[in-house]
Amino acid sequence: MFKNKKFLSFTGKISLPFGGPKVNQIIQIVCLTLVFFIAFTIRILPLKWGAYLSEFDPYWHWYVAQHVTNNGVGWIFTDSWIDTRTWFPYGRHVASSTPMGLPLTAVAFYQLIKGFNVSLLDVAIWLPPFMAAVTCIALYFWGRDVGGSETGILAALFLALNSAYIGRTTLGFFKHECVGIFAIVLASFLFLRAVKPENSFKKGLIYSIMAGLALAYLNISWGVFYYMFGLIPLFVFVALITQRYTSKILIFYLVTMGIGILLTLPFPRPGLGVLSTMGAIPTLAGFIVLAMYEALNRLRFKIKIKFKFMPIILCIIVAAIVSAGIYLSGLVSPITGKFLAVVNPVARSASPIIESVAEHRMSTWSSFYQGFGNLIFLAPVGFYFAFKRGKLEDIYLILFGLTSLYFASSYIRLNLILSPVLCLLAAYGLTQIAKPVMKAVKAAWLPVKKKVAPSINPIAGLAFLFILILALTPTFMQALESAYSPVTIASASTPLREHREDWFDALEWINENVPEGVPVVCWWDYGYWVAIAGNSTSVADNATINTTQIAHIGQVLLSNETLAFNLSKKYFKSDYILAFVTTFPVYGQHRPWGYGDEGKWVWMARIAHEYHPEISEETVDRDKNGLPDENTLLGKIILYACGFPVNFEAGKIVYVSPSHEYVVKGEQKITTQIIIVKGIS
């Protein structure tokens, strides 16, 4: 079967990297199959506790995918669907606030396999581990271009077992990342193939078109596309100043970026925002620099200047002036919110809503090591060999590595962007170390016509490689450890490795008992669960699109009981207020554990304080015990959850989840309690 070259190619003319003897071809296919199997299998370990959507946002993306399945795609381009089950009473413009790439991908897969008795929910649950495995294969192709098939296979294996990547591609983690990282890797691989000097113009054009399609897919899938809008222009700029520029780079840059932008414009998100924000400036500047430099070359710039970089400097100055003019004229909006916090970590201190999210915090050495293990020691070796060789693909790899390292340091969630390039750099470094060792082994033991004394002692070399592989073992074990835990809702949003019924029971109660159209007021973390899994209405969720409304929720929860229900009626027309409290037993008495609202009240106070100055950490916790005072509604609920007698005057408890029985019966077990209080009219 391997005699048929078309079987091993993208098309009949673009061959896959399985050249060489049949045995090598078979070995590579087997290795890739194993990598795919490992990547997929390790990410479905949460199946032990049940197959559910994980975290919070996946419920929204599945909800949107359902709407696409039932109503088609026409509403996307007119932004006509305003969802009233979320962000009550205002609702939410769905198409302009939701990247549509992921829901559309799920619907496409569903349409392909629905004949096999598969539901859209099944697709949403299983798509993340599948896409992660596909991404590993995509990284193989990129790695193969960088350092050969060995580098590609190792890079794919490292990514398959990378904790930082596993954490956001496990079973049920139906979020942008599962398709976004795939699009980044694919776009990078295809664009580098396009600008590769050895490739013909025709091949380069085909690759650049495909790279543009991959970039467009990223644009409609994940806001991180702005990173690629900075990385690719930076790459072509560095290629220019290092004198590796060719006319093909300008053409393929225009094709890739042009297709990526044009295909994005019809979608409300990002829509025209792809051109009207500060993130578009690098793309424009890259075009100006390349176009001017090409024009100067075409016009045979003959001014006699000893300094050969003068044309480049001139292009940069013009691009900088034009870019500054566009920005100062107000034609593009400045970077704000999460994007500003990524670029400038200091800016996050001005936004409690950003600081309140754990995945938005700055990375530490501990988080880096937990995410990448000993690969972080191999990656610098890859940097060294890439810098030493200095090809176009090496320049891109170095820039990708350095910039993604900065952004990952600034934003712990962006360790995800660093994952593929760090795995590739580590694989490249390891293969470059191993090559002379294997050459020495071959020279020492294999029969050759002419014996050449090896420069490295083969025994010592093999021992070194063996130690190196052993050093990576804890990294891979950590990957297994990170994957082996239940999805968020099954563990009740705690680090417990056990199935908890509390949230399932609470959401069922909400579905059956809360009147249709009446919102359940709760902290924004649980908004998607309440609205979608609970088939009810919520007032805020993880989209955090209305900080004022979130501040109102904080005011409600941290006010005295009577005022809390009055405010709830005023803001949200609701008598139902939900709190989530976790406790653990200490000498027979339950104490707040910190994974529920008893740990989040500080952020409630800080966010509420921006709009309601009377609410602050000091006014809410006057006795300085680290919890809201007993006179606040949340303080009363926390005390009730811990088993203390509490007198509710303006409301009554209408629901308590199952684990509260541990408190009532005095059992020494951790509780994850959902408590719903209803106002007395």
**pLDDT tens by residue, 364-391:** 888 899 999 999 999 999 999 999 999 9
Encode pLDDT of 180-210 as tens digits.
999 999 999 999 999 999 999 999 999 999 9
Please tell me the predicted confidence (pLDDT) of residue 308. Answer: 60
pLDDT, tens digit (0-9, with 9 covering 90-100), for 576-594 = 999 999 999 998 899 999 9
User: What is the Cα–Cα distance from 223 to 250, expressed in whole angstroms?
Assistant: 25
How many percent of the chain have pLDDT more than 70? Answer: 93
CA atoms within 13 A on the CB side of 190: 25
What pLDDT does residue 13 have? 39
pLDDT tens figures, 593-622: 999 999 999 999 999 999 999 999 999 999
- For the residues of 343-398, what is the DSSP string, one character each? H-GGGGGG-HHHHTSGGGSPP-HHHHHHHHTTHHHHHHHHHHHHHHH--HHHHHHH
What is the DSSP secondary-structure string of 490-532? TTTTSS-SS---HHHHHHHHHHHHSPTTPEEE--GGGHHIIII
Spatial CB neighbours of 586, under 8 Å, sequence gap ≥ 6: none
**Cα distance between residue 600 and residue 553, in whole Å:** 12
Q: How many residues does the chain have?
A: 681
Cα torsion through 145, 147, 151, 155, rounded to 10: -60
Place 465 in a pLDDT band, splitting at 50, 70 and 90.
confident
Q: Scan for tokens 């003019």, then name that residue.
A: 325
Instruction: Identify the pLDDT of residue 15.
Output: 41
| pLDDT(110) > 50 | yes
Helix, strand, or coil (residue 679): strand
Q: Determine the Cα–Cα distance for residues 311 and 250; give it in Å rounded to an integer.
A: 16
Query: Is pLDDT of 306 > 50?
Result: no
Q: What integer pLDDT is reported at residue 7 of this predicted model?
A: 36
User: Judging by beta carbons within 10 Å of its beta carbon (0-12, 13-18, 19+), is residue 473 exposed, middle or buried?
Assistant: exposed
Residues 6+ apart with CB under 8 A from 260: 187, 212, 213, 215, 216, 218, 219
Distance separating alpha carbons of residues 56 and 266, to the nearest angstrom: 28
**pLDDT tens digit sequence for 9-63:** 433 333 444 445 678 888 899 999 999 999 999 999 999 999 999 999 999 999 9
For residue range 254-289, what is the model confidence (pLDDT) as tens digits? 999 999 999 999 999 999 988 888 888 999 999 988
Q: Give the three-state DSSP class for 560.
A: strand
Contact 11, 131 (CB under 8 A): no
**Over pLDDT 90: what percentage of the chain?**
74
Whether the per-residue pLDDT at 354 is higher than 60: the answer is yes
Instruction: Say how far apart CA 68 and CA 32 lie, in whole Å.
Output: 34
Report residue 597 as tokens: 């609202």
Tokens 């360790």, located at residue: 415
CA-to-CA dists, residue 224 to 229, 280, 414, 457, angstroms: 9, 13, 9, 47
Enter the tokens of residue 610. Answer: 């921006």
Give φ, ψ of 678 to 5 degrees.
-115, 130
User: For residue 631, is pLDDT > 70?
Assistant: yes
Confidence category of residue 451, pLDDT binned at 50, 70, 90: low
In angstroms, the CA 104 to CA 112 distance is: 12
Give pLDDT, residue 461.
74
- Is the predicted pLDDT of residue 444 greater than 80, yes or no? no
Rounded mean pLDDT, 539-560: 96
**pLDDT at 605 (0 to 100):** 97
pLDDT digits (tens, 9 = 90+) for 137-186: 999 999 999 999 999 999 999 999 999 999 999 999 999 999 999 999 99
